[in-house]
A and B are shown apart, each in its own frame.
Chain A
Amino acid sequence: MNLSKYIKVYKKFLHTSLASELEYKTNILVDLITAILSLIGSIFLLSIFFQNNGYIGGWKYEQALIIQGIYTILNGITNTWFNPNLTEIVKHIREGTLDFVLLKPIDSQFFISLKKINPSGFLEIMLGFFLLFYCIIINQINLNLSLLTLSLITISCSICILYSLWFFISTTTIWFVKTWNAIEVLRSFLYIGRFPLNSFSFSLRVFFSIFIPIAFITTIPSEVFLGLSQLWKIFLEVIVATVFLITSRKFWLFALKFYSSASS
């Protein structure tokens, strides 16, 4: 693998997709307002839960806000990279233009996962960081190097898991052609990532840690920030993320064997 070539290609991707997205400037503004309103809405919902209770699943309001912050960052990343690209896969497969991607002298997964970018997601990521920063202040968290490294590791693992989940579903398009709604199902499941895992009943907790590891995505990084996380949990998250990444890669290569170009 030639890394410098890929970096060079990625720069071109960034350039072309930013140029085309910035054509719709009002659109970006509307998306920003949507992101802000959505955050306000989630905090409003959280405050309803906490209005007569001090704790939810063992989390205080100020602590639960950290989860919101991390969720917002991850959602921003989803909207910036995963959503625009992976919905594109569906189009590629339906219209048979995946042929052109496969013919290019470049890794096909790299191409279809990073081709597009939606700049309005950046604002959401920033919003999430603001909230996270605010939470660090109100929870009086001491930032030190080990905390920062651990949180960086867990958040990057979350991103890997999230990416693999999205990529997994998009890959199934090769067989089912229309998977828009499978993505909607994933989105609705991801929604519970806004809340601490312990606030759900035991059976749901098991479901969301084993079958769809949404539990790992937001709860563990938040626990890291609060200094509550045991080392084995972080270790487990790293393993899960690795397994997911490798499987999604293998699954993609496996699925390509079944790809029979459309309309040609």
Chain B
Amino acid sequence: MISNLIKRKIFTLLKVQYSNMLEYRVEIALWAISGIIPFFMLNIWTNNNLNESINISDVMLSRYFLSAFFVRQFSVVWVVFSFEEDSLMGKVSPYLIQPLNPFFRYFAQHLAEQLTRFPFALIIAFFFFIFNPESIWIPNLGILLLSIVSTFLSFLIQFLIQSIVACLCFWTEKASSIERLLFIPTLFLSGLLAPVVSFPAYVKSWIYLTPFPYLIDFPANLLSGNETNISGGLSMQILWIFLIFPLFKKIWSEGTKKYTAMGS
């Protein structure tokens, strides 16, 4: 009975958000295009033969960056920006009354957006293969499933971290600047711009203890068929989720007590 209700709620939310997102097809297409930075990086790597020093062939590197592009496409999170706007406009108040944590709403929004984005990402990948036909590959089904799972886990980690930042809206008006701050290490350390194997040793010694390499580098390596520790990576992802989730619950319950309905 209860599980049925939750299922219905989630299904309805997804459906509503999907039709909502379909209205913004052009924006989402543009957004997908704005994620092509990994391809520029690939261009620098192969054009200067930088990959020889890290023992990755041109083909494997181009697969890596294409996978990194895909992982990034499906793990983009912007919950803090939505939540900040809603909380400044006082829209959070009606959400709080509903018997559903408002973050489910944002979560469904993200999933729906990913669904809308999927065809555009495929089109970009198609163009990528036209320019780099030698890098076409088909991962086997098991690897594909595992990389989807790990991409989803990466999305979940980023969603949880950003939700924690979003909850800071209860204390300060501009939480998004904190998110912009957190985005910088994510950008440079996650493997979006350079694979983590290429990092100097003094960074590699500690980076695997942070969540960053599991956000893009690990799923991208998995998908592209580069060498990686599958069980280790997945368990680290799950571990981080288990570490962050209680923190989110704590800050949420503290924050809602602090909530003063703004703008209403």
Residues of A within 8 A of B253 (CB): none
Complex CA distance for A231 and B32, rounded to whole angstroms: 39
Residues of B within 8 A of A56 (CB): 44, 48, 50
Name the CB-closest residue of A to B28: A181
Supposing A37-B185, A41-B187, A185-B33 touch, asked if A52 and B53 sit within 8 A by C-beta, the answer is yes
Is the pair A191, B37 in contact by a Cβ cutoff of 8 Å? yes
Classify chain B's interface size: 35 or more
Residues of A within 8 A of B188 (CB): 41-42, 44-45
B35 contacts chain A at the CB level, 8 A cutoff: yes
Residues of A within 8 A of B178 (CB): 30
Contact of B184 among A37, A178, A191 (CB under 8 A): A37
Complex CA distance for A48 and B188, rounded to whole angstroms: 11
Residues of B within 8 A of A41 (CB): 184-185, 187-188
Interface residues in B12-57 by Cβ distance below 8 A to A read 24, 26-28, 30-31, 33-37, 40, 43-44, 47-50, 52-53
Is the pair B184, A199 in contact by a Cβ cutoff of 8 Å? no
Is the pair B43, A200 in contact by a Cβ cutoff of 8 Å? yes
Interface of B toward A, CB cutoff 8 Å: 24, 26-28, 30-31, 33-37, 40, 43-44, 47-50, 52-53, 172-174, 177-178, 180-181, 184-185, 187-188, 193-194, 198-200, 203
Classify chain A's interface size: 35 or more
Complex CA distance for A42 and B37, rounded to whole angstroms: 14
Complex CA distance for A83 and B251, rounded to whole angstroms: 32
Supposing A178-B24, A181-B30 touch, asked if A31 and B200 sit within 8 A by C-beta, the answer is no
Complex CA distance for A44 and B193, rounded to whole angstroms: 11
Complex CA distance for A53 and B54, rounded to whole angstroms: 12
Name the CB-closest residue of A to B199: A48
Complex CA distance for A26 and B171, rounded to whole angstroms: 12
Residues of A within 8 A of B53 (CB): 51-53
Is the pair A188, B194 in contact by a Cβ cutoff of 8 Å? no
Is the pair A48, B48 in contact by a Cβ cutoff of 8 Å? no
Interface CB pairs A-B, < 8 A, 28: A24-B173, A27-B174, A30-B178, A30-B180, A30-B181, A33-B181, A34-B180, A38-B184, A41-B188, A42-B188, A47-B200, A48-B194, A48-B199, A48-B200, A49-B48, A49-B50, A53-B49, A176-B26, A178-B27, A180-B27, A184-B34, A188-B34, A188-B37, A191-B37, A191-B40, A199-B44, A199-B48, A200-B44
